């Protein structure tokens, strides 16, 4: 359960940066967030004070959701208590800023990631999806696709993707999501085609960049498209990563796998060493095997 709550925390707050334009929040709340990786207990005390002083700031409550969520991920006996506090803060942020799509996205991710005992609720998540569709139809399409992917209703997801592509054949996010679905089901050839199309669309640079990473990753799974995957990852390494994109260490790891498939052991070892420059425990574990 602790792992699940930690995952919830990580995904529930990735949308906070976009929300900042509408509500700057209090200085004290910003200071509290800055302590999250330094002194979590002090961050908790400070965010409680910030909310007491500034109870109508949606962003302060959103920060509260992040800090309480981190406490949940680090706690043991009090993990559920902190998770519920995190959820309450996220819900309050949405109540204070009901038209803010990004806060609702965070709430959806909590509902889908948390166990029911901690507030997880698929139906509540779907209700938020439907609200977002009314607030912003373009973002609603993306959120709905993400919803069905996360609850693993793959047949429904494929139908929604096909419908979305009919409506907008050039949509990078839809091609990207379609690629992920096909990759998940082992249809690597079709997945590669959709990742190529996503990488070529310019209206969403972050999705285009993530598609580059997936071109390399999919080539590893397919044991094919080696040159295309290598070129995509080399390009990916030249761009500036956002915090929600795969790290450059992961790109180096995928390159090492592709060079191994290509029987270029020298370059494979070079990129394995570059990949090891990370604190990512999952990746480090893979590199040890």
* 147, 129 Cβ separation under 8 angstroms: yes
Q: 1-151 has which CATH code?
A: 1.25.40.10
Q: Is 281 helix (H, G, I), strand (E, B) or coil?
A: helix
Name the DSSP letter for residue 246. P
pTM over 0.75: no
Residue 136: left (phi > 0), alpha (psi -120 to 50), or beta?
Answer: beta
Cβ-in-10-Å burial (0-12, 13-18, 19+) of 214 comes to buried
Name the DSSP letter for residue 117. G
- 105 half-sphere exposure, CB direction, 13 A CA radius: 23
- 88 half-sphere exposure, CB direction, 13 A CA radius: 9
Instruction: Please report the beta strands in 157-236, taking only residues with DSSP state E, as ranges in sequence order.
Output: none
Over 80: is that where the pLDDT of 92 sits?
yes
> Where is pLDDT greater, at 75 or 193?
193
Q: What is the pLDDT of residues 21-32, one digit of tens each?
A: 456 788 999 999
Structure token digits, residue 256: 């090492």
* 65, 106 Cβ separation under 8 angstroms: yes
Share of the chain above pLDDT 70, in %: 91
* 10, 280 Cβ separation under 8 angstroms: no
Cα–Cα distance between 111 and 116 in angstroms, integer? 8
Q: What is the pLDDT of residues 101-136, one digit of tens each?
A: 989 998 998 899 888 998 999 999 999 999 999 999
Domain boundaries, the chain: 1-151
Cα–Cα distance between 214 and 229 in angstroms, integer? 8
The chain-wide mean pLDDT, for the chain, equals 89
Cα–Cα distance between 50 and 31 in angstroms, integer? 10
pLDDT at 242: 77
Least confident of 67-71, 91-95, 203-207, 283-287: 203-207
């Amino acid at each position: 359960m602790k792992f699940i709550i930690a995952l919830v925390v990580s995904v529930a707050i990735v949308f906070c940066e976009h929300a900042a334009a509408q509500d700057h929040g209090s200085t004290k709340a910003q200071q509290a967030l800055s302590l999250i990786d330094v002194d979590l207990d002090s961050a908790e005390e400070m965010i409680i004070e910030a909310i007491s002083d500034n109870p109508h700031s949606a962003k302060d409550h959103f920060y509260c959701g992040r800090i309480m969520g981190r406490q949940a991920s680090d706690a043991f006996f009090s993990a559920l208590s902190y998770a519920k506090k995190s959820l309450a803060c996220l819900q309050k942020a949405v109540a204070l800023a009901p038209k803010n799509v990004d806060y609702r996205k965070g709430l959806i991710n909590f509902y889908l990631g948390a166990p029911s005992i901690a507030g997880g609720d698929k139906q509540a998540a779907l209700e938020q999806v439907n609200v977002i569709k009314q607030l912003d139809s373009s973002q609603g399409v993306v959120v709905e696709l993400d919803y069905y992917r996360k609850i693993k209703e793959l047949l429904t997801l494929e139908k929604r993707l096909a419908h979305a592509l009919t409506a907008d054949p050039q949509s990078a996010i839809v091609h990207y999501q379609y690629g992920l679905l096909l990759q998940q089901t082992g249809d690597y050839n079709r997945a590669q085609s959709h990742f190529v199309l996503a990488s070529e669309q310019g209206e969403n640079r972050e999705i285009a960049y993530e598609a580059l990473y997936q071109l390399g990753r999919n080539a590893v799974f397919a044991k094919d498209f080696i040159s295309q995957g290598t070129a995509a990852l080399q390009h990916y390494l030249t761009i500036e990563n956002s915090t929600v994109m795969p790290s450059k260490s992961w790109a180096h790891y995928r390159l090492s796998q592709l060079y191994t498939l290509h029987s270029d052991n020298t370059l494979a070892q070079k990129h394995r060493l570059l990949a090891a420059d990370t604190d990512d425990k999952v990746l480090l574990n893979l590199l040890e095997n």
